[in-house]
Amino acid sequence: MFDARIMPRPDAPRRSPAGLIAGLLLLLALALMPVPAAAQIAGAPPQGNNIAARLVADGPARAGQQITLAIAFDPKPGWHGYWKNPGDAGYGLALDWELPAGWQPGELLYPVPETLLIAGLMNHVYEGPHAVLVPLEVPATYDTDGPVQIAVDARWLACTDKICVPESARLTLSLPVAANGGDARFDRWRALLPPLIDRTAQFETAGDTLRIAIPLPASLSLAGPHLFIEQTRLVNYAATQQFARAGDWLVGEIALSASPEVPQRINGILALGEGEGIRFSAVPGPVPDGGQALAASGETPAYWLLILGALAGGLLLNGMPCVFPILSLKALSLARAGRSEAEARVEGLSYSAGVLLACLGLGGLLLALRAAGQQVGWAFQLQQPGVVVALLVLAGAITANLAGLYALPSFRLSRSGRPLNSFATGLLAAFVATPCTGPFMAAALGAALLLPPIAALLLFGALGLGLALPFLLIGFVPALRRRLPKPGAWMERFRRLMAIPMGLTALALVWLCWRLGGALFALEAVVLVMAAVALLALWSAGYRPARNRGGFAIAFATLTAIAALGTMTAFYAPAARATGGMLNAQPFSEARLAEARASGAPVFVWFTADWCVTCKVNEQVAIERAETQAAFAQAGVVSMVGDWTRGDPAIGRFLDQQGAAGVPLYLWYESGGAAEHLPQVLGPQSLVTLAERPR
């Protein structure tokens, strides 16, 4: 694209119409005059191009042997050229050779390209000086009788981030007859070429994803891998790529294009980072599942920072909305702990042990499922209807207990009579807290999915320690305990009052059952809760089937519970996922995201789940607001929402690529910019401020 304008100076003298006509005729005559081709000295760069090019040979030609030529490019500052597959825009190098009879050029050999994202379009480019090497076969019949003249008409595209200019040059070269020691630059140019691996890679398509397994030793470290696919119209170049190590295989996953043309062989370059890479050739074949996931891009923070982040995240989790209902149980334990120093320490240790065991258990199960190939993240258990029903029964039973409907005898930790209540409370607190990913937690939990198992489990342990830390400090610091209210009759009233938030939690779980499995599924879950509470109440009142008339009531409640459990599967019918809302959000997919970014409009993407309390609070506070709607409409923002309530492998992969272990996740894309990660707790003006940025 050319943009040439001639603007007259304000003080320029005015010319007569006759003078103007004469000047135009003179310009026309000059334009029609034949211009002789510029004679080029061998190896000298042509003039006038934004990317200068020259043709260079590595030594003389010898009969029956191969000689290497190089087309050396030198872009002006701010300009770039393209790889053989340019990506979403541009075009690669085209060559028309003039060679002696029998001389044959080979495949063009390129160095590892770079990625350049402009307006949502991914480009495969070279931004600095580089060389494309060309093997040239010399026939055995070649008889040296003087210098050999070689010429090539080269065409390429030179671009900045604003304009592109088609450029061309006729490059000529006179091959020397005698050895001249070669060109020292060829050593550097050859070193920059990615070597071809000696084993064949394998690929398969799975839905809208291309999976490639490249044989690569597990001992080889990778800083920032990226796959450059040689075939066009195959993959979505702008989509984030996901990698995993499965033994001595590196498995890469790339979203396919809208209308992919899948060949029988796929060639490309695997960039290893810092300008290094390898070439590969892949054929159809099985690709390993699972493995250890790698970071999609960027560097992992220092491990000690991740530990501190997990600790701080767990500490702040005590104040997150999703943990509030369980605070009633903690408050009662704290008050009871004030009776003696020994009992307070036991309470603190028992509660902390329960929290740590829950966090380590959930973290270990999460890592095991991911190693088996499951796309799961933090709070994965709440995507399972059975787990939600179990939590609902537990919440209903606790609500009834706090309300005074029944009382069960305390469990005992040992013969000395120390209660197990705090341990169970810690287990429950950690389990209920998992729907949230609070501040500082995102980087730590995201890294935990990429680190070796022991290092990852330490991060989950740090998270649990942070969650348990306030209660642990109160158990071991008398000054903190003295600030607590003294035990008394108020505790009973407080306990009954705390039945309200726990009851609200139970109602929220009923709603979640409806979202996961439909209305009849939720109704069966409520019947199960009522039967379980009835059984607990009868049991705590001393009724036994063999001793008194309460046996009939117990039998009826038991049969009701069994019937509810038996019919829940039959009534399971997942509700349709809602999209739209006040922002008219589209359902998320990587293809839609790439299309929206290519449009040049700002893009807002959020990932949510019905079981994520923080997500729902943010939606009410910042997203589903008339002011946000008006600001987005004014700025032309495209909105997308990813619903992870029941799990979605595509969303799971994208969360992995963004270094997120779960939801909420909020991403903002300016026109042509990379993803901007927003805080996990949004304020009323957070999105409005983004939409009103100057552009």
Q: Of 442, 451, 454, which is closest to residue 310 (Cα–Cα)?
A: 442
d(CA 597, CA 672): 7
Highest mean pLDDT among 450-454, 486-490, 503-507: 503-507
Q: For strand 130-137 and strand 66-75, is the pairing parallel, antiparallel, or unpaired?
A: antiparallel
At 96, the amino acid letter reads D
* Residue 16, domain member (yes or no): no
Taking every pair of Cα atoms in the chain, the longest distance, rounded to a whole number of angstroms, is: 124
CA distances (Å), 377 to each of 249, 350, 616, in order?
A: 23, 28, 18
Given a cut of 60, whether residue 10 has pLDDT beyond it is no
Report the C-alpha gap between 194 and 276 in whole angstroms: 7
For the ranges 192-201, 342-351, 599-608, which has the lowest average pLDDT? 342-351
The DSSP H or E segment spanning 331 is helix 327-336
322, 327, 329, 330: CA torsion to nearest 10: 130
**Residue 307 belongs to a domain:** yes
Q: What's the pLDDT band for 438 if we cut at 50, 70, 90?
A: low
How far apart are alpha carbons 309 and 443 in whole angstroms? 7
Residue predicted with more confidence, 124 or 615: 124
Q: Are residues 156 and 271 in the same domain?
A: no
Tokens, residue 350: 């028992």
**pLDDT tens digits, 150-195:** 999 999 999 988 888 899 999 999 887 666 656 778 989 999 999 9
User: Exposure pattern of 127-137 as b/e (b: 16+ CB <10 Å)?
Assistant: eeebbbbbebe
Final residue belonging to a domain, choices 294, 312, 334: 294
Query: Could you give the number of structural domains in the chain?
Result: 4
pLDDT of residue 607: 92
Q: Distance (Å, rounded) from C-alpha 90 to C-alpha 125?
A: 10
Q: What are phi and psi of 373, to 5 degrees?
A: 100, 5
Is 223 within the bounds of a domain?
Answer: yes
Is residue 604 assigned to a domain? yes
Domain identity same for 88 and 146:
yes
Q: Residue 139 in contact with residue 102, Cβ under 8 Å?
A: yes
Confidence of residue 124 (pLDDT cuts 50, 70, 90): very high
Last residue of a domain, one of 157, 191, 225: 191
275 with 351, same domain: the answer is no
Cβ atoms of 97 and 576 within 8 Å: the answer is no
Inside any domain, residue 539: no
Look at residue 557 in the predicted model and tell me its pLDDT: 79
CATH number (domain holding residue 168) = 2.60.40.1250
The parent domain of residue 105 ranges over: 51-191
Q: What are phi and psi of 383, to 5 degrees?
A: -85, -5
Mark whether 413 and 493 lie in a shared domain: yes
Domain boundary among 445, 480, 497: 497
Residue type present at position 630? A
Q: 106 pLDDT band (50/70/90 cuts)?
A: very high
Residues 255, 206: one domain? yes
Task: Based on the fold, state whether residues 187 and 236 are members of the same structural domain.
Answer: no
Measuring CA to CA, how many Å separate 562 from each of 182, 546, 557, 558?
Answer: 86, 20, 9, 6
**CATH number of the domain to which 641 belongs:** 3.40.30.10
Residues 281 and 172 in one domain: no
Q: How confident is the model at residue 18 (pLDDT cuts 50, 70, 90)?
A: very low
Q: Helix, strand or coil for residue 371? A: helix
129 and 154 both lie in a single domain: yes
Residue type at position 45: P
Report field, pTM of the whole predicted structure over 0.85: no
CB atoms within 10 A of CB 666: 24
Q: Are residues 596 and 619 in the same domain?
A: yes
| CATH number of the domain bearing residue 226 | 2.60.40
In a domain? residue 152: yes
pLDDT, one tens digit per residue, over 361-402 is 888 888 887 777 666 667 677 778 888 888 888 888 888 888
Q: How confident is the model at residue 51 (pLDDT cuts 50, 70, 90)?
A: very high
Decide if 459 is inside a domain.
yes
Q: Produce one character per residue of 2-19: b if its CB has 16 or more CB atoms within 10 Å, e if not.
A: eeeeeeeeeeeeeeeeee
Residue 598 pLDDT more than 70? yes
DSSP bridge pairs for 173: 150
183 and 258 both lie in a single domain: no
Give DSSP secondary structure letters for 14-36: P--HHHHHHHHHHHHHHHHS--P
Instruction: Clarify whether residues 341 and 473 are in a common domain.
Output: yes
Residue 439: pLDDT band (50, 70, 90) is low
Same domain, 285 and 339: no
- Strand, coil or helix: what is 685? coil
Per-residue pLDDT tens digits for 237-251: 988 888 888 888 999
The per-residue b/e assignment along 202-222, b for 16 or more CB within 10 angstroms, e otherwise, is: bbeeeebbbbbbbbbeeeeee
Establish if 401 belongs to a structural domain.
no
